[in-house]
Every structure is written in structure tokens, then in C-alpha cells.
Structure 1
Amino acid sequence: MGVYNVHERVLTVPEAEAGLLLDGLSGDSDPLWPGRDWPPMRLDGPLASGAAGGHGPVRYTVAAHVPGRWVRFLFTAPRGFHGFHEFTVHPLGPDRTLLRHTLAMHARGGARFSWPLVFRPLHDAVLEDGLDRAERACTGRVARPARWSGYVRLLRRLIG
């Protein structure tokens, strides 16, 4: 099963400011990943090619990092996740930048069921929470905060 999933947010800041959010991933004061409400993103070293880690049961290695612009993670778990997820920064003008997260993978075996039933709803919620954090960090507010669906709240209770 092919999966292509994109989340993005336009931030009213210059590209360099949005790039700092990306470069702070997995750090002690990560401004992007919503680690208070979700399993934190942790790597075994600085955000650089070859660093390994993940969040919760999702594991990956950093395949590439261009500071301020792009970071790509290759999945190593869960079983059946074959592909990557990445954050990219795209300038739209002097004070407008698009922050995008893309997940592209093939779900094989049990992942053909676990992705749509469990991982996708949780993934979508954590990414929207992260984009809210990015918007708040850049502007001091969130115009349209993300809301968890009843299904996401149920999954979070069941997973515990």
C-alpha cells in the first residue's frame, strides 16, 4: 500500500526563522515537536546524517540534513514501514515561509492495517499539533488551532 501524506503551514516569518524550528528538532528545547502531549522526538546525537532515534514506536535514522532547509528521516520501525518522513522549508516571499512535513512510504504486512487504523490518525494529530507550535513560536498565536478527533482521543486512551 502506497502512502503519501502531507501537512503544511504558512508562517509569516522569513525563511531563516522558520529554518531554526526545523534545526531545533529533537533538541532539549525543541520548538517544533509537541513532546509535552506526544512521545518526544529523541535522537542519539545531534540532528545530522546518521543520527538514530524516533518517537514512541516509530524509529528512524537521519538520512540527510541541510540546516535551515530540509531534514529527512528513513523509517526503521515499526515493521512494515518502508520509506521516509521529512520536514522542508520553502520561502514564499520576504516574510512568508511554508513549513511542510511529508511522509512517503509503502506499508507492507500488518502495517497495511495499522497505518490507516492507528498510526495515520495519530500521525495527523501530532503533525498538526507541531505546526501549531511552529506558528505560535513564530507569531505568538495560532489562528486556527488543531483539534483532536474523538477517534484520536480514544486511541490515546487505549494506547495509554
Structure 2
Amino acid sequence: MQVTNIHKRKLKLPKDQVTVLFKTLATKEDKIWPLENWPAIRFKETLKVGVKGGHGGIRYTIIDIKEGNSIKFKFSKPDGFIGTHEFYIKEVDENSTEITH
């Protein structure tokens, strides 16, 4: 069974300010991950290609990072999760930005 699940949040902030917030992903000061609804996302090292981590029982490896634009993970657990998980930032206009997850 193929599943596609896309979440979007629009922020009334310019992209450069959202990029600063994005750098907090997977830190104790995380301003991006929806901590109110999901277990915290954590990695064994700083965010870079090849680093392993996850949230809850879901595990993945970082396979691509485009500084200030996106980060992409490949699932490794649980069994049967085949595919990717990604965040990307898109400027909507000079005063708003959309984060897609």
C-alpha cells in the first residue's frame, strides 16, 4: 500500500527568518517539529548527510540537505516503511513562508 502524507504550515515570516528557526530542528530548542503532537525528533550527531535518528519508533537516515531549503530522510524502521520523509521551505511572498513536511 502506498501512503502519501503531506503537512503544510504557513508562517507570517520572511524566509530568512524561517531558515533561522529551521536550524533548531532536532535540538532541545526545536521551533519546527510539532512537539505538541509527536515525539521529539532526535539524531546521534548534528544534522548532516548520513546521520541516523528518528522520532518515536520511526527511524531514518539523512540522505540530503540543502542549507536553508530542505532536509530529506530515508526510512529504516519500522519494517514496511519504505520511502522518504522531508521538510522543505518555500517563500510564499516577502512576508510569508510555507514549511512542507
Structure 1 and Structure 2 fold alike (TM over 0.5): yes
**Cα shift at 1:35:** 3.7
Instruction: Give the structure with the higher percent helix.
Output: 1
Per the alignment, in what secondary structure is the counterpart of residue 5 of structure 2? strand
Give the Å deviation of 1:38.
Answer: 3.5
* Preserved contact between residue 23 and residue 47 of structure 1 (Cα < 8 Å): no
Q: How does 1:98-109 map to 2 (within 5 A)?
A: 98-101=98-101
Q: Which structure 2 segments of 5+ residues have no match? A: none
AA partner of residue 48 (structure 1)? K
Q: Secondary structure at the match of 1:20?
A: helix
Percent identity of equivalent pairs = 36
1:26 aligns with 2:10: no
Match of 1:9 in 2: 9
TM-score by length of 1: 0.59
Distance in 1 of aligned mates of 2:37 and 2:7: 18
CA distance in 2: counterparts of 1:86 and 1:35, whole angstroms: 17
* Aligned partner of residue 89 in structure 1, secondary structure: strand
Structure 1, gaps ≥5 residues long: 102-160
Decide which structure has greater strand share: 2
Q: Per-residue displacement from partner, 1:72-105 (whole Å, max 9, x unpaired)?
A: 011000000000010000011111111111xxxx
Which position in structure 2 is the counterpart of 1:153?
Answer: none
CA contact (8 A) 1:23 1:67 kept: no
Deviations 1:34-91 (A, max 9, x none): 4466321110100111110101100001111112110001100000000001000001
The count of aligned residue pairs is 101
